[in-house]
A and B are shown apart, each in its own frame.
Chain A
Amino acid sequence: MSEPARDIATLSWWMFAIAAVVFGGALFLLLLAWMGRGREGFPVIGKREKLESRAVVLFGIVIPVVVLVGVFAFANLVVLKDTDAPKASSTALTVEVTGHQWFWEVRYPGTRAVTANEIHIPARTRVNLVAKTDDVIHSIWIPRLNRKIDTIPGHPNRILLYADEPGRYRGQCAEFCGLQHAHMAMYVFADPPDRFRAWLRNMQRPEPAPSGPSERSGERTFMDGQCASCHTIRGTPARGDIGPDLTHLRSRTTLAGLTIPNRGGYLLRWIRNPQHFKPGNKMPALGLSDRQLQKLVTYLEGLR
């Protein structure tokens, strides 16, 4: 978890407790009303007109004001400070996440590292996440780490990412962004610092040239066909920017925004018919033969 998320959780439990008391109290009064329905006036003390108005003022104005001021002060003057955006250059690491219909582009400014739908950060390190969009409004939300932040065209936002412990944290787009809003999730991997550095080093390496005839054939299919017009693979002529960057594709745990795992036959099945898994997404079926598909997948699986 993280401190902002924990603080918000504490705030929530306190508010739920107060709400339960208020709700329980009101239900109790309604129960009394039912039980005393044959009798006029308050239970036990009977008819008291002045008390009626005074009770409304006390329970309808005075007590709510006190409770609300307390909630306001705690939530908006204390906890809010935790969830505020960090100042621009105040953290050791900055990650830039750009929402697209319907995937997340993840960059590490100052390096050449680019990936999609996965954010790797070192655990126990304050990370400044810059939230942007390439098209419509999306929203970056990793509940166990922090509040959500919308990505507004022309208006980059910042949010703090800080994981107390190493682990995998699930996030999702949280602002309706069109047909495949439901399949726009991401993982944040908080790794021990040396593992993170190793990962980042790997991400910056250029891809080695493909070895083996199948891989080379697959590479040709990729570069000569439609793939290269939508996807980028660093170190190759492929420079498309409509779909996610595919450099080091093999290192990712999922495909299509956590829709399917990146293992077994899933990559092949995805390429054969992307619309089956994510109807309405921008990748068409390519009409490749099974052999071409197999070789293409062999190539892509070599992008470690």
Chain B
Amino acid sequence: MASVAAPKARERIDRLQRIWEEPSGVVGWLTTVDHKRIGLMFFFTSLAFFAAGGVEALLIRTQLISPNGGLLSPNAFDEAMTMHGVTMIFLVVVPMSIGAFGNYLLPLMIGARDLAFPRMNALSFWIYLASGIFVYTGLAIGSAPNAGWFDYLPLGSKQFAPGPNIDFYTLGLIFNGLSTTATAVNLIVTTFKLRAPGMSLNRMPLFCYAMLATSFALVFALPPLNTALIFLELDRAVGFHFFDIAKGGDTLLWQHLFWIFGHPEVYIIILPAFGIATAIIPTFTRRKMVAFPLVALAEVLVAFIGFGVWVHHMFAVGLETITTIYFAAASLIIVIPSGIQLFAWITTILTGTPRFKTPLLWIVGFIVLFLLGGLSGVTFAAIPFDQQLTDTYYVVAHFHYVIFGAAVFPLLGGMYYWFPKVTGRMYYERVGQASFWLSFVGMNLTFFPMHIVGLLGMPRRQYTYPSGLGWTGYNLVETIGSYLLAAGLLLVVTNLAVSLFRGARAGNDPFGGDTLEWSTSSPPPSYNYAVIPRVTSPYAMWDREDREADERDLAGGGKRVLETGHETPASSVLDADWDEVLDMPSKSWAPLLLAAMLAATFAMLLTRHYVVAATCGALALLVLGGWHWKEPQEA
């Protein structure tokens, strides 16, 4: 974007600004359909839930600092550990990855002006917020879910969990799933149809491949979870017998359904992080990604193979040996695409000229931690080993290395990396590096000893443990580590918060980035791009000729400027041939209203007022009809 623009360019920019700008103030945000605003709302909401989940973790660790701790009663502990898992997985990592990062960055990286379905995007956010409040209402009234985040039956059945705790779990997660599915559909259609004309699939950045793979995995993984949750709620509320052995049901049906969702879910958690890593590495190593096509393929393969391995969560339940052997083999196969990516990243860093600034530090940390977590994961594919170490702190160590180390570290690196783009200000580099090291040390201190204490026989999900078994010292170290980790994370947040007000002004492209978002202003204008960018490679920012051609269009006009309305181009899927120009909807109350109606419906289902629930559902349908009464070009 030229600052010394010719008068025509200035006019164009002003016109686009008038067309696209949304009002400021509360009403503006409540009715927004701008992916950048929605991305920010997702970000701050998931950050708040991250704090909640973090407090839950610190409560657990403080309770376990010594044997026979008295901080938490058994039920309080069970609620804390369940809410910690539910919060971190459903209310933090996935929403932050696809709702914040995916939402904000995808249109920018593909040269579009918004997502394919802007109003549905807003709906995703309001449902997410409502579902989080829904689940936490359970906590507020002293009935938080307390049977673990995977809620095995019969423990989660009405017989053994008569209170509303588990109903908050089932209904809250079904509700939350609506948001995630909507976002996934939105990201897929956007990636397929709204890429800048000329950005054929092989010119799309790796970050977009990761988001695409994640979204497809979500589309197929969430329905089994929803089925399981619907079955459970029907059993609990209306007396059905899906899981009830005495009446022909089956206990293990729950486990199968849950893990058919649950395993792909962990790849859903980690794939966006891979995408962030593949955005940061080329920028900070100043070279293109090694084996780009292999890495793209590997990202897609991880999502796909992830559907075939779920029984490895059930190796100790007593299934037929031949079944377990098949699934162990499949679980080993999935190591390959991860290995491809790991090695490609390492080779890129090795053969580039890396600048070890804060964003890259988080990615190097991620590589180290993902490797450790992946290696401990591989050990679980050895069935006898799994049968000793499952349900112990060894597995707690494993999944925290892969979830915290491999999913959250890139999210934190991404926060630093895109902070200048989103805010127009630069963070404090040295504080950034300190926040990385503090978090890295804290993370390892917290979770590495868990491998050992698991090998020493400490099972998971215990509110206390006896002395004299050799577990005490490790637990003490882990708790200290957790406080260090919390301090590191607080430092990240403080750094960014202070930099928001006092950081140095950042230009469009402070790091020499490779993807399109660095070509527009910081923060981006409401219309993202005055000229829909030309793209001839996945490293669009490094193709100077294309960027200069865009500048000339801005001054001279041309069909890529699209300034007659609220417009963005739609292209064909593979080659991105320009197909049509779409008018996009603008602000609307309908998404907020629909989310509110749905929240009421779920609340009535929870309290078993079924007639009122059906009424609220009917009202929701009416809102949906009203929403679509305004066609996109009228909205």
A176-B381 contact given A52-B351, A139-B316, CB 8 Å threshold = no
**Does B152 interact with chain A (Cβ within 8 Å)?**
yes
Given B352, B368, B376, which contacts A40 in the complex, CB threshold below 8 Å?
A: B352
Q: What is the distance, in angstroms, from B466's C-beta to the closest C-beta of chain A?
A: 8
Contact B74 A182 (CB under 8 A): yes
A56-B340 contact given A72-B332, A75-B383, A154-B245, CB 8 Å threshold = yes
Given B294, B384, B390, which contacts A79 in the complex, CB threshold below 8 Å?
A: B384
Chain B residues with Cβ under 8 A from A64's Cβ? 335-336, 339
Given B154, B316, B329, B350, which contacts A147 in the complex, CB threshold below 8 Å?
A: B316
Contact B461 A32 (CB under 8 A): no
Contact A40 B316 (CB under 8 A): no
- Distance in angstroms between the alpha carbons of A47 and B347 in the assembled complex: 12
Contact A173 B368 (CB under 8 A): no
Contact B457 A143 (CB under 8 A): yes
Contact A136 B463 (CB under 8 A): no
The residue in chain A whose Cβ has the minimal distance to the Cβ of B252 is: A152
Given B160, B317, B368, B376, which contacts A135 in the complex, CB threshold below 8 Å?
A: B160
**Does B219 interact with chain A (Cβ within 8 Å)?**
no
**Does B593 interact with chain A (Cβ within 8 Å)?**
no
Interface mask (B363-398 → A, CB under 8 Å = 1, otherwise 0): 010011001100110110111110110111000000
Chain A residues with Cβ under 8 A from B318's Cβ? 85, 131, 149-150, 152, 155, 157
- Distance in angstroms between the alpha carbons of A279 and B78 in the assembled complex: 13
The residue in chain B whose Cβ has the minimal distance to the Cβ of A16 is: B379
Contact B391 A139 (CB under 8 A): yes
Q: What is the distance, in angstroms, from B45's C-beta to the closest C-beta of chain A?
A: 29
Contact A39 B353 (CB under 8 A): yes
Given A23, A34, A68, which contacts B356 in the complex, CB threshold below 8 Å?
A: A34
Interface mask (B240-256 → A, CB under 8 Å = 1, otherwise 0): 00000100001110000
How many of B's residues come within 8 Å of A, CB to CB? 76
Given A15, A61, A80, A177, which contacts B336 in the complex, CB threshold below 8 Å?
A: A61
Chain A residues with Cβ under 8 A from B428's Cβ? none
**Does A241 interact with chain B (Cβ within 8 Å)?**
no
Contact B154 A23 (CB under 8 A): no
A-B CB contact pairs (8 Å), 19 listed: A19-B378, A30-B349, A32-B350, A42-B350, A60-B339, A61-B339, A68-B332, A72-B382, A74-B382, A76-B324, A79-B384, A136-B153, A139-B316, A141-B391, A155-B252, A173-B459, A178-B78, A181-B461, A279-B73
Interface of B with A (CB < 8 Å)? Answer: 73-75, 78, 147-148, 152-155, 160, 245, 250-252, 287, 290-291, 294, 316-318, 321, 324-325, 328-329, 332, 335-336, 339-344, 346-347, 349-356, 364, 367-368, 371-372, 375-376, 378-379, 381-385, 387-388, 390-392, 455, 457, 459-466, 469
Of all A-B residue pairs in the complex, the 7 with the closest CB atoms, nearest first, are A75-B382, A147-B387, A154-B245, A182-B462, A157-B318, A60-B340, A60-B343
Interface of A with B (CB < 8 Å)? Answer: 4-5, 7-8, 11-12, 15-16, 19, 22-23, 26-27, 29-30, 32-34, 36-43, 47, 52-53, 55-57, 59-61, 64-65, 68, 71-72, 74-77, 79-80, 82-85, 101, 131, 135-137, 139, 141, 143, 147-150, 152-155, 157, 170, 172-182, 258, 279-280
